[in-house]
Amino acid sequence: MNRKLHSFFDPTIGADSPNPGLDLEFDASNLPDLTDDTLKQERLERASTIPSSWYTHSSFHAFDIHSVFSTTWQYVGHESRIPEPGDYLSETVGGNPLIIIRADDGSLKAFYNVCGHRGGPLTMQACGSAKVLQCKYHGWTYLLDGSLRGVPRFNRTDLFDKRDFGLVPVAVESWADLVFVCLVPTRSLSVREQMKEFDKRIRPMSITDKHYHGREIYELACNWKVYVDNYLEGYHIPLVHPDLCDLLDYRSYVTEISPYYSLQYSPLKSEGHIHNAGSGDVFYFFVYPNFMMNILPGRLQINRVVATGYRSCRVIFDYYYDRLQTEEARQMIEEDYSFSRQVQEEDIEICEYVQRGLESNAYDRGRFSVDAEKGVHHFQSLLKDSYRNALGRSG
């Protein structure tokens, strides 16, 4: 079964549903199981997993948007997709429609994709190019710096100043040609600071020599945290991904923890075994809360996990390669997509079962394998930090 729902050119690509925006109210008194005990940081050997209600109670969706997704840097795409002034991408982040655009001076800008008149969209496409941004509702026009320029049929409106109705900007940052935005950046270190030691760690591989190839989107019937937990351990590989397990030297699988990211790596079993890509290591690199890079010889996959509801999420896969054009490259890419889909289907199936298990009467909290689940523990510790910050509770 292929769960890919959108092709890259589908204009609904950026849409979360049903719009869980930044303003979405949450009432902390409705949130179960946020106690000193559940929010406590315990070392891995002693810790329990987070309560099942954090994955299953409807109130946690708004709380996650507020406390996690609005305050962290969110990957939106690669700079090469918007090389010229006026080129843009549209994305939904934390339920908010955004447009990321190359300005006239070559810099990157990001705005809410929301017109100041009555909230219409500047674009309804996933990507495109425009000399000015024209609202698709009544035609107000904006310059690429976000200032309002053209306002048809407004000469009889009193006390109207165009300067009050420019596009609302959003923080944008580029790191290794990857573009990130953040709705409320006050609590988050810059992407560059978070990634400090990353380059050294993956040498001799690099992510800046890769070319964007395409995007696939998967819709899952599980909470976003189920997918992230699953990503962060190789413990499940032998049972869930037997074919992948055959390619990896599983006994050498290691997880490393840094303050802001975690890294799982494994050598490939034998040279050339994985789709003629040569030898090397496989890196699964995670930046809190939802950014993943799978780095293999000759290729890079980037995943962003989007919370679309308390028991649904979307996983956006962007594929990058060293080479795109040669016959050999095309064949490798085809095989890479096919194998990635297989692994993704296996993960989706188990994650959806886990969601049902978490919703059952039988389960509340579990324990961690110290050998194999320190990445999950690291993620859940950072999640507790986010929750405590949002609730105004100290460590």
Using CB under 6 A as the criterion, which residues of the chain lie in contact with ligand FES when the complex forms? 115, 117-120, 135, 137-140
Q: Which of residues 334-363 bind Fe ion (CB under 5 A)?
A: 347
Rounded CA separation 94/181 (Å) = 11
Residue 15 or 292: the one with the smaller Cβ distance to Fe ion is 292
Given the complex with ligand FES, which of 153 and 200 has the nearer CB atom? Answer: 153
Whole-number minimum distance, CB 169 to ligand FES, in Å? 17
16 part of the interface to Fe ion, by CB under 5 A: no
- For residues 346 and 3, is the Cβ–Cβ distance under 8 A? no
Q: Which residues contact 86 (CB under 8 A, 6 or more apart)?
A: 101, 102, 129, 130, 131, 144
Minimum CB distance to ligand FES smaller for 75 or for 142: 142
- DSSP-assigned letter for residue 237: H
Q: Token pair for residue 73?
A: 């840097």
Nearer of residues 287 and 351 to Fe ion, judged by Cβ: 351
Q: Which does 366 bind (CB under 5 to 8 A by kind): Fe ion, ligand FES, none?
A: none
Q: Which of ligand FES, Fe ion, none binds 347 (CB below 5-8 Å, type-dependent)?
A: Fe ion
DSSP state letters, 289-358: TTEEEEEETTEEEEEEEEEEETTEEEEEEEEEES--SSHHHHHHHHHHHHHHHHHHHHHHHHHHHHHHHH
Cis peptide before 11 (omega within 30 of 0): no
Closest distance of CB 114 from Fe ion, Å: 37
216 makes contact, choosing from ligand FES, Fe ion, none, with CB < 5 to 8 Å by partner type, with none
Backbone angles phi, psi at 278, to 5 degrees: 90, 180
Question: Taking the complex as a whole, how short is the minimal distance between the CB of residue 350 and ligand FES, in angstroms?
Answer: 44
Question: In angstroms, what is the minimal distance from the CB of 344 to Fe ion?
Answer: 8
Q: How far is the CB of 117 from ligand FES (least distance, A)?
A: 3
154: left (phi over 0), alpha (psi -120 to 50) or beta: alpha
Nearer to ligand FES, 119 or 357 (CB): 119
Which region, left, alpha or beta, applies to residue 119 given φ > 0 means left and ψ of -120 to 50 means alpha?
A: left
Closest approach of Fe ion to the CB of residue 240, in Å: 6
Q: Which residues bind Fe ion (CB under 5 A)?
A: 347
